[in-house]
Amino acid sequence: MMMMMMMMMMMMMMMMMMMMMTMMMMMMMMMMMMMMMMMMMMMMVYDDDDDDDDDDDDDDDDDDDDDDDDDDDEDDDDNNNNNTK
């Protein structure tokens, strides 16, 4: 009888240990996944923001500059041509 009880106790302890280990492993995995997700989210957000801002600024600047330059050039040309005639 005593032997049986001891065996049962040992088995129970082993089971508990195994459960604890698996739980710990699961928790660790979950934590890692959460960290990865957070990092990815942060990276994505920063990347998107940067890209959008940069693109917008660049586009706006380029367009404005081009338009201005073209207009100026054309005006100058016209004036010069008229003056020489």
Residue 1 is given by DSSP the state -
Tell me: the pLDDT tens digits for 25-80?
888 899 999 998 888 888 776 655 555 555 555 555 555 555 555 555 555 555 66
Judge whether residue 21 has pLDDT over 60.
yes
Confidence of residue 5 (pLDDT cuts 50, 70, 90): confident
pLDDT attached to residue 44: 76
pLDDT attached to residue 3: 80
Question: Taking the CA of residue 81 as centre, how many other CA atoms within 13 Å lie in the half-sphere pointing to its CB?
Answer: 6
pLDDT attached to residue 60: 54
